[in-house]
Amino acid sequence: MAPSDQPKLRVLCATDLWTRSDFALQRTLSLVAASDAQSLLLHVVDGEKPLRLAGRMADRAHNALAWRVRQWGPLVEPPDISVRIGRPHRLVAQVAHDWSADLIVLGAYRPRTADWLLGTTAERLAASARCAVLVVNADPATAYSDITFAAASIDSARSLAQIVSHLGIAHPVQPQYRTLAHVNFESVARALLGTGSDLIVTDLDRLPLATRLLRRNLTNALVRRARCDVLIASTGPEPGRKPGEQGIGACLSTAAEPVL
C-alpha cells in the first residue's frame, strides 16, 4: 500500500467494448485489485451518430461497463465509469489530461490505413495525453514476468525501468543492455519481437514526420505486430542527443519480479 502522503496511481482504461478490449479491462481491474490505484473506465460514442441514437448507445455502454465491474467482484476502490459522446481519440486524450492519468490502458491494435504514417492510436495518445500507454494484447491472467526494454540509450532504458516500477506493473531488475544502434528498424523490431517477453517497453519515438516517410517507426511496428503487451512511455529528451539523431537500442532477456 502506498504511503498516504503519496498521490495514488491513476489508471484510465479506454474501451470500445469490442472483444479485443476485454483483456485491457481485465488488466486494469487487476491493477486496481492489487493496489490502491484509482481507475476510470472510459467509453466514447462516436459523435457523428444521430443524437438520439448516440444517447441510447451511451446508456447501454454505461450499463455494460457497470455489469463487467460487478462480475469482477468486490474492489476496495471500484473504478469510476464515464461515457462521453464525441471524437474518440480527442476525448480520450482530453479526459486523460483533465483527470491527470498516469497510465492509459488500451485494447489490442486495430489496423487503420494511415497508421504507419500518422502513428497508431496508442502512439498518438502517448504524445497528446503525455502519459504512458499500455496496449494489452494477451490474456492478463498472470503478472508480467519477462520484460524487454527498447530504448535509445542505457539511460533511457533505466528511465523506462523506473517508469514500470512507478506504475506498479512489475519491479524490474537492473536491465541488461545490448546496443543495436544504427541498424535497420526492421532488424531491431524482429529482434525485440523474438525475445518471447510478455511485455515490451518502448520510448515514445519523436522522429519527425519526414523521417517516418523514409523508414518505419520502431514503436509503430511494435504496436502493430507484437503479440505480447506493449507499454509506450516518454523518458524526455536525452542530454547530448540532437533532435533527429538516431540511435536504437534494446535491453534483451530482462527478467522482472511480478507484483500482481
> Which percentage of the chain shows pLDDT scores above 90?
30
Q: What is the mean pLDDT of residues 154-182?
A: 71
Q: What is the mean pLDDT of residues 16-45?
A: 90
Pick the range with the lowest mean pLDDT from 38-52, 67-81, 155-169, 245-259: 245-259
SS (H, E, C) 8-31: CCEEEEECCCCHHHHHHHHHHHHH
Q: Which domains does the chain have, with CATH numbers?
A: 10-107 (3.40.50.620), 146-258 (no CATH)
Residue 187 banded pLDDT, cuts 50, 70, 90? confident
Reply yes or no on whether the pLDDT at 244 is more than 60.
Answer: no
